[in-house]
């Protein structure tokens, strides 16, 4: 089900609140502050530009008055601080955009490339921005991590900035991120919408080929743990993380996107998870879509439609379990939900 603690796209994957698209800036519900200083399409002001124009004092006054917000050294924003769903993702993306202003043609990778591609980044995000080193050695400096260039690495244009190709970027992300973070972003890049939507950014075959191309490298086993779990079927970040937690809790692996025909509604439904051995459906759900509406319907219509869908499903299966983000972040809650629904445990839980 389309739900998340972050802002979402039509596919259900969280999207950053600040994004560059077709040369325009889209700031979710963020209003510009009143500074008149020249700024780029993302609302960023360089202090160097202000000084060149003889408006350094104006920049300082605007900052002190709250009309400008400091993003990083020498870079300010005309937008208020990101708030609400996706705020941490938006803050991190601003760091990436600010770094692009400070450095000369950086090539972003890892977390930073994933952010530019609009992939969901869950959990605690790094303070550093990731770029490719110009040489064979990596280094860390002033909020920037340079990743060693140990083989041929290309670059592609992502909304006017340079990033490593998506396959290389995801391999690097899996080296630096937690298993859950990397799996969520990888599943999102592989996602194939059933109807419409954007094409997947990559394929499992391409990712595996890139892994083999880069061998041997530090963190290869860590990356392989992500590749062994990736799927094209996860429709939301919550589904991806749920699948990992279900595994860590020792429950039987579910089937994904199981199709059920709902005669009362004269349409098919695809469930997030299904355990055929016990005939139990699992739905990774929350309440964000109820607040924002779905398909043009208001919140009440969405709730009614979802209730009808659930009633139809319950008439066809032995059990139906629902959970949300808070249950996944606190695995004992999801464990209790699945046990009550009758989902079998096939091995001892792994401590997270």
The per-residue pLDDT for range 309-342, each reduced to its tens digit, is 888 999 999 999 999 999 999 999 999 999 999 9
CA 228 from chain center: how many Å?
19
Distance CA 131, CA 157 (A): 14
Last residue of a domain, one of 233, 261, 295: 233
Same domain flag for 188 and 286: no
Backbone dihedral angles phi then psi of residue 89, each to the nearest 5 degrees:
-60, -40
Say if residue 241's pLDDT is above 50. Answer: yes
Least-confidence region, from 172-186, 201-215, 299-313:
299-313
Kindly report the pTM of this predicted structure: 0.84
Strand partners, 323: 284
- Give the list of residues 6+ apart from residue 71 with CB closer than 8 angstroms, or none: 44, 77, 94, 95, 97, 98
For residue 41, being part of any structural domain is answered with no
Strand arrangement of the beta sheet that strand 75-77 belongs to: 44-46, 75-77, 69-72
Last residue of a domain, one of 205, 233, 261: 233
Contact call for residues 187 and 181 (beta carbons, < 8 A): no
Same domain flag for 228 and 254: no
Say if residue 116's pLDDT is above 60. Answer: yes
- Enclosing domain of residue 212: 82-233
């Amino acid at each position: 089900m389309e739900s998340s603690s972050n802002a979402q796209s039509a596919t259900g994957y969280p999207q950053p609140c600040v994004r560059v698209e077709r040369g325009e800036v889209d700031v979710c519900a963020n209003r510009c502050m009143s500074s008149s200083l020249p700024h780029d399409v993302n609302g960023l002001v360089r202090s160097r530009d202000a000084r060149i124009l003889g408006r350094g004092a104006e920049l300082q006054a605007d900052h002190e008055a709250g009309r400008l917000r400091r993003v990083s050294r020498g870079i300010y924003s005309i937008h208020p601080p990101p708030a609400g769903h996706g705020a941490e993702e938006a803050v991190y993306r601003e760091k990436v955009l600010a770094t692009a202003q400070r450095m000369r043609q950086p090539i972003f990778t890892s977390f930073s490339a994933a952010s530019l591609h609009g992939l969901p980044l869950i959990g605690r995000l790094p303070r550093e921005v990731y770029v490719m080193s110009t040489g064979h050695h990596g280094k860390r400096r002033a909020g920037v991590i340079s990743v060693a260039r140990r083989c041929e690495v290309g670059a592609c244009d992502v909304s006017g900035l340079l990033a490593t190709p998506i396959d290389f970027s995801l391999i690097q992300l899996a080296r630096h991120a937690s298993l859950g973070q990397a799996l969520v972003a990888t599943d999102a890049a592989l996602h194939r919408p059933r109807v419409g939507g954007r094409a997947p950014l990559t394929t499992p075959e391409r990712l595996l080929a890139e892994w083999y191309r880069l061998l041997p490298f530090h963190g290869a086993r860590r990356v392989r743990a992500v590749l062994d779990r990736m799927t094209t079927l996860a429709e939301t970040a919550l589904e991806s993380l749920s699948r990992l937690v279900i595994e860590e809790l020792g429950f039987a692996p579910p089937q994904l996107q199981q199709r059920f025909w709902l005669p009362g509604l004269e349409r098919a439904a695809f469930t997030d998870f299904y355990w055929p051995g016990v005939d139990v459906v699992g739905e990774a759900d929350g309440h964000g879509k109820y607040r924002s509406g779905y398909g043009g319907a208001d919140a009440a219509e969405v709730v009614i439609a979802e209730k009808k869908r659930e009633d139809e499903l319950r008439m066809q299966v032995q059990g139906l379990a629902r959970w949300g983000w808070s249950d996944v972040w606190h695995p004992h809650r999801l464990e209790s939900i699945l046990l009550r629904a009758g989902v079998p445990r096939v091995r001892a839980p792994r401590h997270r």
